[in-house]
Chain A
Amino acid sequence: MADISKDILQKIKKDEVRPYPKQYFLLKRSVIWTVFGLSILFGSIACAVAIFQLRYAEWDLYKHLSHRPLEFALLVIPFFWLIFLLGFTGFAFYNFRRTEQGYRYRTLWVILGSIAISVIGGGIFYATGLSERLETAFEHNVPFYRDLQERKQRVCMSPGRGLLAGKIVEIISEQKMQIEDLQGNIWVIDINDTIWKGRLIPAQNLKIKIIGEMKGQNRFVANEIRPWKGCRGQGRNRTRLLQLECDS
């Protein structure tokens, strides 16, 4: 057999083949780790909003709805954000596998590890209030997301079972106000003995949920009035959220 190594060396010399510089590999590794890090970061943000939505899901409304427990759970679970989390986890996994030693770890552990880091990161973001701001920003800037959330809120239209949702049209007196429900019907609401939850201040155009009892055609006695988005945001973003709800 001819000396194949000698032939190859000659070809390398003739074609002036040169090794790629160290910086090329450094850059390649950095890009992979950066994309991995960003995937975990975005996964954490998605997880933060999912935690936020689960934390403020109004599980107690279940008794006012005609849905089965599973249907109700499906409505409350923040699939949108969980799909994001899974997508970014997949992306993180793909990039981790492309790192120098990433292939040595089992798929299941890499995926579970990525999810665990995202959940911890999500918990930190949630604690900082970022998730609340992000969700609000999404609702106001992403029509698809707004429609999705509104579709979820429409289940609150169940006056026969004591649940009504809509927008305050007029505050007639301290005992009465008028609302337009999600289907465009006008209701007169008795607010004489009503508990206003979530530090709500009645105002025109404010979106609310009402728990109470239907008393005839388009008349409703409110036992409890809650903010449109549930009793969330008792903290720093509360005023801004209410303002945004009134504006929209």
Chain B
Amino acid sequence: MNDYENMSDEQLVQLSLEDQDCFYYLMKRYDIKILRYIKRLTTISQEEAEDIIQEVFIKVYRNLNGFNRKLKFSSWIYRIAHNEIINQYRKTKLRLAMIPSNIEDQANLIDSINDTIEINGAYENLEKDERVRKALAELPDKYREILVLRYLEDKSYDEISDILRKPPGTVATQINRAKTSFKKIAGRHQLNTGIVK
């Protein structure tokens, strides 16, 4: 077990192709992260999220030989998870989250946005957070997802580019637009904002 823990994802991919059991250690590295990512983007139950993650890992296993080693494995698995969420959304019209459903996630996202978007005005913290939460709920899905990847999953622009299959420049633009869009919506919720960066 210790040996596997010290291996890189790429080494584990290679070993998984030779020995099915090694795939367990690869899944173990990502199961919590991917499950959390699915739940951050949807409002589905734990069981439904587990069904999706099962599909994700089976797809990952089937496509191991197609893994492009120029990519980070984590970007690749997030991409497959992203595609699976979209597939499920189209197939079953699963509910995409209006905002991250987890209270802690909400707080993190609000904190991240507060760090990059200066919110002026003398609001009590709770009142401000509630207004930010409402503003976030009105953001288009694509902006919300990019904010989740950037601020909750802590992905770099290049990684987001690989996950969403969009040019890095477009990712940067969309993050800026997400912030601008947020700023406009925030205005409607009587939040005075200024973008810091």
Name A residues whose Cβ lies closer than 8 Å to a Cβ of B: 4-9, 11-13, 17-22, 24-25, 28, 100-101, 103-107
Contacts and interface: CB of A to CB of B under 8 A. Distances in A.
B50 interface: yes
Nearest to A19: B64
* Top 7 closest pairs, chain A to chain B, by CB: A5-B27, A103-B165, A25-B66, A19-B64, A22-B65, A9-B24, A8-B57
B61 A104 contact: no
B27 A9 contact: yes
Contacts of B169: 106
Contacts of A4: 27, 31, 35, 50, 53-54
Given A9-B21, A9-B24, A19-B63, A103 B166 contact: yes
15 contacts: A4-B27, A4-B31, A4-B35, A4-B54, A8-B53, A8-B54, A13-B20, A17-B61, A19-B17, A19-B64, A21-B65, A22-B65, A25-B66, A106-B167, A106-B170
Contact of B24 (A6, A17, A19, A25): A6
A13 B2 CA distance: 24
Interface string B35-77: 1000000000000001001100110011111101010000000
A5 B24 CA distance: 6
Contacts of B35: 4
A24 B61 contact: no
Interface of B: 17, 20-21, 23-24, 27-28, 31, 35, 50, 53-54, 57-58, 61-66, 68, 70, 161, 165-170
B167 A104 contact: yes
A101 B61 contact: no
B176 to A, nearest CB: 16
B20 A9 contact: yes
Contact of B167 (A7, A8, A25, A103): A103
A143 B20 CA distance: 61
Chain B facing A: main interface SS:
helix
Contacts of A7: 54
Contact of B65 (A6, A8, A25, A100): A25
B117 to A, nearest CB: 26
Chain A facing B: main interface SS:
helix
A237 B31 CA distance: 68
Contacts of B161: 103-104
Nearest to B64: A19
Contacts of B61: 12, 17, 19
Contacts of B63: 19-20, 25
A20 B65 contact: yes
Nearest to B22: A9
A11 B58 contact: yes
A17 B58 contact: yes
A100 B58 contact: no
A104 B169 CA distance: 9
A241 to B, nearest CB: 47
B48 to A, nearest CB: 13
A100 B71 CA distance: 10
B70 A9 contact: no
Contacts of A103: 161, 165-167
Contacts of B62: 17-20
B35 to A, nearest CB: 7
Contacts of B68: 100
A244 to B, nearest CB: 49
A28 B66 CA distance: 10
Contacts of A22: 65
Given A17-B62, A20-B66, A12 B23 contact: yes
A11 B65 contact: no
B167 to A, nearest CB: 5
A4 B31 CA distance: 7
Nearest to A15: B58
A20 B61 CA distance: 9
Contacts of B58: 8, 11-12, 17
A11 to B, nearest CB: 7
Contacts of A106: 167, 169-170
B28 A104 contact: no
Contacts of B57: 5, 8, 12
